[in-house]
Structure 1
Amino acid sequence: MTLVVLLLVPGLHLLDLAGPAQVFSTAADLGLGYRLHYTAEQEDVPTAQGLPVRASLDWPELTPDDLLIVPGWRAPTLHGHGPLDPATLRRLTEHHAAGGTVASVCAGADALGRAGLLDGRRCTTHHHVQDELARRHPAAHVVRDVLYVEDDRVITSAGIASGIDLALHLIAVRHGPGAAARIARAMVVYARRNGDEQQASAMLRHRAHLSDAVHRVQDLIDTRFADRLSLADLAAAAGVSERTLTRRFTDATGLTPLRYQQLLRTERADHLIGRGATVEAAARAVGFQDARMLRRLRARN
């Protein structure tokens, strides 16, 4: 069971909180083993939208597999907003030092900066406060105009709805693109938001286009990436000919449908290998009959 701890700060934006919370709540409904915990320095936390929320004053015991997320708050400027005690900031630092993942949405990146977690790392935040974040934390490398950035288990997102993209990315990395696609469909959101080349998820990296036919095919491949999918079946799902699908898919993504599926398989296999699986076991898990093709694709990438 993975614990997702959301640290609530006065003035928080409801969607900064609700977006990631909904992703992991839906993941729990699908049996992926998540439990949410809301903590704060005060029980009743006012929000930017006027609806107060209640949180626990207690911190649960965390393991390296658990996630700690700081949703953002209303901040025309970062200075003087988002108050957090030094003891709370130490919680962020200690979780990361123990091997855990720490994430933020929007202005929450400033809390990570005050905890020292942005020093020497790439990060991002809402475009309205990017310049100020860079001034306040000069040792950080602020990446502008992207949805989220991951650097050594520190993940920051641009703000508001991009918290959903951040959470879907974490699901895709931990459980594969099919799981992230199922959650996106359950939430009635498109898993098609783009970021920059540092995004680990191929599913999100190749969604920066407006072709509905190609998105439908990607939805199918995302869900069944470990299956053998014929071009004819994919074309039927898109309602176009095989030749038209290949042309439109390549124009939209720079890849053929087969190459896109291979990227998803290789990415998932790399994650399994990083968690201790053998190359042979990872190859079978993602749909290859043996490890030879996986080895060739990993060398190619």
Structure 2
Amino acid sequence: MTTVVFLLTPGLHLLDLAGPAQVFSTAADTGLDYRVRYVAEHADVPTAQGVGLRAETDMPRLGSDDLVLVPGWRTRDGVRRHVLGAGHAAALVAHHAAGGTVASVCSGAFALGDVGLLDGRRCTTHHELQEELARRRPRARVIPDVLYVSDGGVVTSAGIASGIDLALHLVTTRHGPATAAAIARNMVVHTRRNGDEPQASAMLRHRDHLVDIVHRVQDTIDARFRSALRLADLAAAVGVSERTLSRAFSAATGLTPLRYQQVLRVEHAEHLIGRGATVEAAARAVGFQDARMLRRLRSRPGAVRL
């Protein structure tokens, strides 16, 4: 079981907490082995939005597969003081030192900076706070205009709703993009992945829509992209005509179902080639009969090259 600990601070923003908490809760509902815990210095936690929360006060025992996440908070006077008690601060540092992942949403990055976890690392925070964070933590490299940054087991995200993107990214790294896309679909949010990574999986990149029949067909293609998939069978599976499916799929993703499948095949082939496979072996592994089609698709402008 993976434990996700939300380390709560007074005045926290509800969406900083609720967004990623919903991602991991939904992951658990789909059968993944997650347990969400809420820990704070004091059992009663006031929030910036006026709703009080209750939390545990003792940090649970954690392993290297577990996650500690600090949501952001609002200050009354604009001064960002140290908000973590000595015990919880030490537990946060010890968890990271033992190989665990720590993360923050919005101004939660200041808490990570206070305990030295941003030193020498790339990071981000809410756009209105980036200059302040860079000034206070000169040894950190604050990255603007991204939703999240991952560097050495420390994952930081921008403001408020970007905590959802951070959590989906963490699910992607552990369980793959198809699982993250399914969770995003369940939550009725766009699946975005424009953190600091130059490549975004096609499974996520083309899920930025709310068309149910297209999502269902994408689920099938994602799971069976190595197989020969007939348009007629895909259309029949969702109860529409081939013409209707083609139009809906193209409007939602910018691709035909066949082209989407080809993009997935090429993307997976590039991963295999990057790990030492020959073009011929990679082509066979992803479902091409021979390497000629793979070479042709790889040579297209804009083709994925890892």
Q: What band does the TM-score fall into relative to the shorter chain?
A: 0.7 to 0.9
Corresponding residue for residue 276 of structure 1: none
Deviation at 1:87, TM superposition (A): 2.9
1:249 is aligned to 2:246? no
Deviation at 1:172, TM superposition (A): 1.4
Alpha-carbon distance in structure 1 between the residues aligned to 2:151 and 2:117 = 10
Kept after mapping to 2: 8 A contact 1:48/1:73: yes
**1:249 match: secondary structure:** coil
Cα RMSD (Å) of the superposition?
Answer: 3.9
Kept after mapping to 1: 8 A contact 2:82/2:114: no
What one-letter code is carried by the residue in structure 2 that aligns with 1:249?
Answer: L
Corresponding residue for residue 133 of structure 1: 133
Corresponding residue for residue 118 of structure 1: 118
Rg comparison, structure with higher value:
2
Corresponding residue for residue 160 of structure 2: 160
Kept after mapping to 2: 8 A contact 1:68/1:103: yes
Corresponding residue for residue 239 of structure 1: 245
Corresponding residue for residue 151 of structure 1: 151
Corresponding residue for residue 265 of structure 2: 262
Deviation at 1:288, TM superposition (A): 4.0
Corresponding residue for residue 96 of structure 1: 96
Corresponding residue for residue 2 of structure 1: 2
What one-letter code is carried by the residue in structure 2 that aligns with 1:262?
Answer: R
**1:155 match: secondary structure:** strand
Kept after mapping to 2: 8 A contact 1:7/1:38: yes
Corresponding residue for residue 189 of structure 1: 189
Alpha-carbon distance in structure 1 between the residues aligned to 2:3 and 2:12 = 21
Q: Of 220, 223, 226, which residue of structure 2 is paired with 1:226? A: 223
What one-letter code is carried by the residue in structure 2 that aligns with 1:258?
Answer: Q
Q: Summarize the Cα distance change of 1:237–1:122 in structure 2 as closer, same or farther, 3 Å threshold.
A: farther
Q: Percent of aligned pairs with the same residue? A: 50
Deviation at 1:85, TM superposition (A): 2.1
1:267-287 deviations in Å (ceiling 9; x for gaps): 9989xx9xxxxx9xxx99xx8
1:24 is aligned to 2:24? yes
Alpha-carbon distance in structure 1 between the residues aligned to 2:124 and 2:244 = 36
User: Scaled by the length of structure 2, what TM-score is found?
Assistant: 0.76
Q: Which consecutive unaligned segments of at least 5 residues does structure 2 have?
A: 236-241, 299-303
Corresponding residue for residue 55 of structure 2: 55
Q: Summarize the Cα distance change of 1:147–1:246 in structure 2 as closer, same or farther, 3 Å threshold.
A: closer
Alpha-carbon distance in structure 1 between the residues aligned to 2:125 and 2:116 = 16
Kept after mapping to 2: 8 A contact 1:10/1:82: no
Alpha-carbon distance in structure 2 between the residues aligned to 1:74 and 1:189 = 25
